[in-house]
Amino acid sequence: MAEYRAPLADLQFALNDVADLAAVSGSNGATPELVDQVLDEAGRFASEVLAPLNRSGDLSGARIENGVVRVPDGFAEAYGRFVDGGWNAVCGPTTWGGQGLPWVVSTALNEIWQSANMSLANCMMLTQGAVELLSHHGTEAQKRTYLPKLISGEWSGTMNLTEPHAGSDLGRLQTRAEGANGAWRLRGQKIFITFGDHDMCDNIVHLVLGRLPDAPPGVRGISLFLVSKRDILEDGSLGAHNDVRVNSLEHKLGQMGSPTCVLMYGDDEGARAELVGEPHGGLKTMFTMMNHARLNVGIQGVAIAERAYQQAVEYARARVQGSPIEEPRAAAVEIIRHPDVRRMIMDMKAKTEAARALAIVTAEALDRARAHPDAEVQERSALRAEILVPIMKGWGTDQGVDVASTALQVHGGMGYIEETGAAQHYRDARILPIYEGTNGIQALDMLRRKLQLADGQPFRELISDIKGAAADLAESPGEELPAIGRHLAQAAAAADEAGAWLAGTYKDDPCAAAAGATPFLTLLGFTAGGWTMGRAALRAAKRIGGGDTDPFLATKIQTARYFAEMHLPTAAALTGPIQAAHHTVDAAVAA
């Protein structure tokens, strides 16, 4: 498996040129210069400490011994170094020991951790989500008890939604609380709980969806509970184990080092639990953590794409096979000399960079929603993030799978052999379109909620911004930027048309609209990706015009043009399938 090198130049460009790091940093001291230093050190730590364990963790996997989950060799030590280095606290609120850096910085760092070792980084990602949820919805006592330990990484966090009989249909969940006046005992079973147990730290904070005794049926009756793996005594030390245990570990396709647990709550006296947020308001409360997780899973798509891309490039530069097409009698050359291999490499690069920039732009919207001094900008930014999160999760993870698959193709037959490591990237990526609400659910969310949000104004504003960028590109001098602008304008017009058709159709025939929801999300993903690449090209051209001779900038423009010419025409053509899908999809039931 190739060594991992953090893509620092592109991360820095996305933060400072596509987004505006300086504008969202506020008063927390996260200057671009400081962030550059943070990213440099993160890249070194990821390459030296986390990445070397990626392959060995895949081979050995997590295991369960006498009811205790053991992570692969080296994981606990690496996690300890991660925590000791303060990395877990980067974006936590300063009130409880965090460093308070903006989400754009967290997004860049999360990509680095996930690229280096996705199985291990899952633990940190979920803990970060637990911090976000309790920061917004916990009582003062809960914040005081749990946030310092979660932010430091001394404890980790989980998210418990799924049950065997109720996958994404959370209205059917049966986990129940017994008791009264806050003395709750939880009983039930949860499956697919990532890092539901492990031996890297002393305590785990489980955030669990369940029902109170007087709960109404369906999603209106869901409450959120906090279950600590171990009792917390008055002096803050840990006491006896709570009534929660690991029943088994799931046998998975990939991410072998990340333990995915079946958890049993209340086999004996019942798991001691605290209510988080309002009674019967658990699903709304949990969405704070779920939306955080959805963005981060989209970042996982970027991360695995980057890792697969790096390995494919290294292999293509080293593998000698076949004469160059322009000199058929010449000696064999490195396969990166062959046009189709170069096409695959450029395709991987373009999709990865587009998804990365989109992730950073989404995080920038979250930062503005959280901390901008103008309340109107906060509100508009929050609505922009609402639109972008399902796009980033759905399209970003699809691209992660696609790029990992292309990496196998670059390796040829050797890609299908486990020893090269290329297959691991594909196996690790394949869960991402399923995690945290399948991409079909993200598409339905876009159709049913996000298109209708605030009478459709946030969607129209996004399309307007994309069309504005297309116009700026079209009016630029030369050949390359106008070419990008033409294709981006066509994709934006197609997304506008498709969105209007879906919004109108959904009112009268929701099934017909739902049949086109997934291709619509794909159209939005490529269009938004083209938008971020177009912004990148504009900024690169401006810097070149100002005398910057960094070859990275010319390459960025070429990559943006490739993305526009190769993918935006196909995306724009999806308007037909979006509107036609309902004519035939019902035939699948008859079959």
Nearest-angstrom CA–CA distance, 219 and 240? 33
Nearest-angstrom CA–CA distance, 43 and 112? 7
The angle formed by the CA atoms of residues 508, 171 and 392, to the nearest 5 degrees, is 70
Closest C-alpha among 71, 78, 76, 25 to residue 52:
78
**Torsion 25-26-27-31 (CA) sign:** positive
Residue 160, H or E segment: strand 155-160
Nearest-angstrom CA–CA distance, 140 and 244? 25
The angle formed by the CA atoms of residues 107, 149 and 187, to the nearest 5 degrees, is 100
Residue whose tokens read 């196998």: 408
Residue pair 135/89 in contact (Cβ under 8 Å)? The answer is: no
Tokens read off for 380: 């508009």
The runs of H, that is alpha helices, within 67-202 are 75-84, 103-116, 118-137, 140-152
CB burial of residue 110 (10 Å; 0-12, 13-18, 19+): buried
The region, left, alpha or beta by phi > 0 then psi within -120 to 50, assigned to residue 465 is alpha
Residue 575, H or E segment: helix 575-580
Nearest-angstrom CA–CA distance, 164 and 379? 38
Residue 348, H or E segment: helix 339-371
The one-letter code for the residue type at 480 is E
Residue pair 185/271 in contact (Cβ under 8 Å)? The answer is: yes
Tokens read off for 443: 């598409």
Residue 283, H or E segment: helix 282-318
Alpha carbon 314 to chain centroid, angstroms = 26
Closest C-alpha among 307, 313, 305, 422 to residue 355:
305
- Known catalytic residue: 274? no
How do beta strands 238-241 and 244-249 pair?
unpaired
CB burial of residue 39 (10 Å; 0-12, 13-18, 19+): buried
Residue pair 224/280 in contact (Cβ under 8 Å)? The answer is: no
Residue pair 197/69 in contact (Cβ under 8 Å)? The answer is: yes
Nearest-angstrom CA–CA distance, 475 and 533? 16
Residue 470, H or E segment: helix 457-474
Instruction: Kindly name the residue from 436, 461, 479, 480 that is annotated as catalytic.
Output: 436
Residue pair 139/278 in contact (Cβ under 8 Å)? The answer is: no
Q: Which residues are catalytic?
A: 436
